[in-house]
Amino acid sequence: ERGVIRGFTIEIDPKALGYQLQAIVRVKPLPGMLHVVQKLIEDTAEFCECDKVTGDDCFVVRLHVRSIDQLDHILDRIADKAQTSTAIVKSQPIKRRPPGIGQRKETPGRVS
């Protein structure tokens, strides 16, 4: 009734489907390519998240791939339309979670 819960979902383990690598890519489209790059990201199944952001880059995306070769192939399709900066995810100490959920550390002198 208050609109706090938007829905229920399942969580799939990408590794169980053969996606061994996860990468985060900052994407800065070349002039006039913003909508083309956004459409390419939307149409590529390996991209599992995309945030349109402020700052030097326009998008920060997360994708799952089976190999470095697959990552290269996907990024090559963007190369003539945008600059990219890629980081391979080594681990994820905090999985996606709602804000305010989880253990909170008390800050001295601060009332929670």
- Paired strand residues for 4: none
From the number of C-beta atoms within 10 Å of its C-beta (0-12, 13-18, 19+), residue 98 rates as: exposed
pTM, full prediction? 0.80
| pLDDT tens readout for residues 1-35 | 888 888 888 888 899 999 999 999 999 999 999 99
pLDDT at 38 over 80: yes
**Residue type for 61, please?**
V
* Under 8 Å between Cβ of 25 and 74: no
Topology (CATH level 3) of domain 14-88 = Alpha-Beta Plaits (3.30.70)
